[in-house]
Structures are given as structure tokens and as C-alpha cells.
Structure 1
Amino acid sequence: MLKAERHKYIMTKLIEEQKVVTTDLALALDLSEDTIRRDLNELDGKKLLEKVYGGAVQVKEKAADVFNIDINAEEEKKRIVAKALSLLRDGQVIIMSGGSTNLVFAKLIPAELKATIYTYSLPIAMQLSQHPNIDLIFIGGKMQKNAMVTIGMDVIQVVSKIKADICFIGASSINVKQGLTEVGYEVSIVKKAMIEASDRVVSMFTSNKLDTKMPHSVCEISQLDTIVTELDPNDSRFDEYKKSGVFVL
């Protein structure tokens, strides 16, 4: 597993459980405890977590507006979103997963668009609540507080009853053989339900997610209709994806 994948796994576990234990991470990732300690030290140096004896805990943040979210590589994500906006039509029923790319997408949806959007992401719901013509449905459930998304059977039951024209789904990792994969099991289950409920599935992500994998499967590549990144769609890195029947925007 690449370092970036390990770091993403560690940070996701930290969000889900508020702490991580070195021995548990080493067992889950089939790595030495020394490797995990080096990862935790590096993440501590970046102030992404607080290293403690035997593991790490979340950084205690200063009081701030919880909806003032810092988005990494925002300009890059705006380039992705600019392509995906062409897929929107008046009257669509849309499902949106969480994630920073989808949050940028929500910010840039044209004011004149008239559509119904379901989401289990609180930041995205708050953003869309300001849109003049969007009929917004926030899907309630158990809240992952730091990720600010809802999970669990309540979410899955609502999603399973939706008949959506299109869903915009974020990606933690993607490759041709394993398809779309996620760090967290509960999020992967919600995303599976989103896909089943939608006629068309669009995954938007930055190109560093290409050809990586995480522990929990979301769907096979063949279940995606379109993928959107900041790269030129003719980039050779997409050749195998196109052979699998995916349209690259």
C-alpha cells in the first residue's frame, strides 16, 4: 500500500473512531508497527493528528465556523466540476455523496437550475440550502461528526427508495480491477445504495486517486457511466478504463 493510501486510511479511521491504535493499524494494514509509527509522526508533523503513546488522537481545533471548510486543491477541483456541470438538466432527480469535490460542485451549480437533490452530506446540504431553485432533501441518520455525513440503515433505507436520474459520487480510490473502493465500510454501503438507486453514475475525483485501492468495495468499474478528473480525457492513463466501457469527461 502506498504511503498516501496509508495516510488516508489512518485519517479516516481517526474521523470514525476519534483515536487510532498503532497495533490495530499495523494488523489491519499488514505492516510493521515501526512503519505505522513513522506515518503517525509524519501526520503529527503536518498537524493532522496528535501523536500519543500507543497511537494518535484528533487534533483539538480552535473554535471556528464549522461550515467554513478549507478545501485542498480547490482550483483543481473547480476544473473537474466545470466539466461535470454540463451533465446537469432541469427537472433531474440527483443524489450527491459527500466529499470536497462534490462540495465545490454544489457551490457552482447554476442559480437557474431547477432540480431535486438528495444528499447525506451536511456541508453540501448547507450549501444547497442557499440555492434559489433546488428542491433539497437532506437524508438524516447517524452523524459522523468530523466528516459531517450521515451513515447507517436510516440513510440506506431512504436512498433505496429514490429513483434518481443521476448520482455524483466521490471516490477515495479507483482502479480497473477493483473498481471504486472506500476506506470506511459504512460509507461504502451508502454509496452502493446510491448507485443502485440511480440511472446514471458519475464519479468525480482528482487524478491522484487513479489506480489506487482501499479495503472496502463500492462497485465495479462497469457500474460507472462517467468519470471526471482534471486531466485531459485522452490521457493514456484512461485507456484501460475506456476499454471497460467508462466514458471519460
Structure 2
Amino acid sequence: MIKAERLQLIISQVSKDQKVLLGNLSTLLNVSEDTIRRDIKELSDQGLLKAVRGGAISNSPIPLHFRDREHYDVSHKEIIAEKALQFIKDDQVVLFDSGTSALAVASHLPRARRITVITNSFPVASVLEDHPNAEVIFIGGRLNKTAFSTSGHEVIRVLNDIRPDVCFLGICSIDIDEGVTGKDYEDAQVKKTMVENAKHVIALSTLEKIGRAENYGICPIRAIDTIITDTDPGHPELLRYAAAGVEIV
């Protein structure tokens, strides 16, 4: 088998199973694990998959720019938002990140709910501007034009001074071994600080983001308390996360 055929087969296997192991590919393609490791690195450098320890996993299919994500998979985000409302109680301090799933939760917030919202997301702040009982604290910083949010040292400094009751974290990619990862370095640093300081961390993730990874680490699975998805909690893709002690909703 020539190299081009081998690379295409690796891509096909990752696309089919979301994850491949060096040993399995070595046996399947009848080449050494070192050869497979070099192949995976080459494909990872091209952005076609994500090299991880012992193999590779799929990149997230989610668009990067907020405007594209805003209109992507809307019906599934609605399901997630409805499930998330049970975690929001009166008099809580609730932290919303810049994800479009977090925006969907904010958009569904009952007008009678009395909470303090902290966010670095311009869209979240905007959707709550006329909410009668939500006090909104917007964290200023450098504008991230791709995410319509703020980032940088000032945002992280403010986040380190608060202890929100709940943090709603929009997920780009999540994997049982790689944890939560993102496509943008500065955004990943902000999310990491949110996770470190919140009392209860809720990951908002459609099923297609499960078992995938990007370049920038945010937190390990053990740092997540709850995963809210658009599917049944008993879905086979979610069983490993439940076994790891994460609440699945």
C-alpha cells in the first residue's frame, strides 16, 4: 500500500469511529507503529485530525466564527437550553461563557428568575439587557472578533475574583481522555479560569462534539460536574463519561 492510500485510510477510520489507536492501525495496515505515528503527525499538521497519545481523534466539525455557529444546529441547542434551566435558581451567581449554547440558555431564562449573570459574551449581555430580574455584570477586555467576546489578562483577573454558583460552558470538543479542548488559545485560557473558579461546572455539548479534540486544553473530564446534551443520557457515546462520575442530562 502506498503512502497516499495509507493516509486516506487513516482519515476514513477516524471519520468513521472518531478515534483510532496506533496498534490497531499498525495491524490493519501492516506497517510499524512508528510509521503510523508519522502518518498521524502529518495529517494532524494539515488539520485533518488531532494527534493524541496512542493514536488520533476527530477534530470538531463546528464552525469557528460566532456568526456561523449562531445558526448551526439551532434545534439541538434549544433542547440543551431547556434542559439547562433546571440548574438555575433564584439568587444564584451564574457565569456564562461565549459559546452559542450558553447564549441559547440565556435566551431561555424565565423573566421571573432573579439571578446575577457574569459574562464576557456580548451576545449574552445583549439578550439579557431587558430581563427585569437579571443583574448583568459584563467583563471587559480585549475584543475577540471571532467569538464576539472579551479575552486577555483583565478578563482572567476578574474571573479569579469571583466564585459563581454555576458556570455554563459552551463546548467545542470533549473527549474522555483529552478532556475539554478548544480551537482558540485565548478563549481556552478564559474558559479554563471559569472552570477553576466555579462551584458547579456544566458543559453544554451536542452529541457531535463528543469524542473529539482540538489543540488547546481547557480542563480534564474530572473538572466537569454535568454534561448536558441534545440526546438521551443513556446514549452509548455518553456511558464512559457517566462511568467517570459526570452527571449526564
For normalisation by structure 1, the TM-score amounts to 0.74
Partners of 1:91 and 1:72 in 2: how far apart? 32
Matches within 5 A, 1:21-100: 29-31=44-46, 70-100=70-100
Equivalent position of 1:226 in the other structure: 226
Change (3 A) 1:165 1:212: same
CA distance in 1, matches of 2:164, 2:96: 10
How many Å separate the matches in 2 of 1:71 and 1:104?
11
Counterpart-to-counterpart distance in 1, 2:138 and 2:169: 16
Indicate conservation of the 8 Å contact 1:93/1:165, yes or no: yes
User: How far, CA to CA, are the matches of 1:125 and 1:232 in structure 2?
Assistant: 30
Structure 1 equivalent of residue 174 of structure 2: 174
> Is residue 217 of structure 2 the alignment partner of residue 217 of structure 1?
yes
Cα distance change of structure 1 residues 27 and 200 upon mapping to structure 2, 3 Å threshold: same
SS at 1:181 equivalent: strand
Q: CA deviation at 1:128?
A: 1.2
Match of residue 116 from structure 2: 116
After TM superposition, give the deviation of residue 29 of structure 1 in Å.
3.9
Q: How does 1:142-157 map to 2 (within 5 A)?
A: 142-157=142-157
Alpha-carbon separation, structure 2, partners of 1:140 and 1:167:
18
CA deviation string 1:19-76 (max 9, x = no partner):
xxxxxxx9894239xx7xxxxxxxxxxxx99xxxxxxxx9xxxxxxx99x95222111
AA aligned to 2:99 is G
> What residue in structure 2 maps to residue 62 of structure 1?
none
Q: Which runs of 5 or more residues in structure 1 are unaligned?
A: 6-25, 36-47, 50-57, 59-65
Larger Rg, first or second structure (1 or 2) = 2
Large movers: runs of 4+ above 6 Å:
none
Is residue 93–residue 116 contact of structure 2 (8 Å, CA) maintained in 1? yes
Decide whether the 8 Å contact of 1:191 with 1:218 is kept in 2. Answer: yes
Q: Secondary structure at the match of 2:131?
A: coil
Which residue identity lines up with residue 135 of structure 2 in the other structure? D
User: Structure 2 CA distance, aligned partners of 1:29 and 1:125?
Assistant: 37
Q: Deviation of residue 232 (structure 1)?
A: 0.2
Q: Which residue number in structure 1 is paired with residue 59 of structure 2?
A: none
Which residue type is aligned with residue 87 of structure 1? F
Distance 1:124 1:28 in 2: 37
TM-score (ref. length: structure 2):
0.74
Alignment root-mean-square deviation, CA: 2.6
Report the 3-state secondary structure (helix = DSSP H, G, I; strand = E; otherwise coil) of the residue aligned with 1:103.
helix
Partner of 2:54: none
Aligned to 1:131: 131
Task: Tell me the SS of whatever aligns to 1:194.
Answer: helix
Tell me the distance in 1 between the aligned counterparts of 2:187 and 2:91: 27
Answer yes or no: is the 8 Å Cα contact 1:206–1:229 preserved in 2: yes
Secondary structure of 1:190's counterpart equals helix
Structure 1: which amino acid aligns with 2:163?
K
Q: How many Å apart are 1:146 and its aligned residue?
A: 3.2
Residue identity over aligned pairs, in percent, reads 33
Q: Does the alignment pair 1:101 with 2:116?
A: no
1:231–1:117 distance in 2 versus 1, CA, 3 Å:
same
The amino acid that maps onto 2:172 is S
Contact kept, 8 Å, 1:119 with 1:138, in 2: the verdict is yes
Aligned length, in residue pairs: 199
The corresponding residue for 2:198 is 198
Amino acid at match of 1:31: Q
Find the counterpart in structure 1 of residue 159 from structure 2. Answer: 159
Give yes or no for contact 1:71–1:100 (8 Å, CA) kept in 2: no
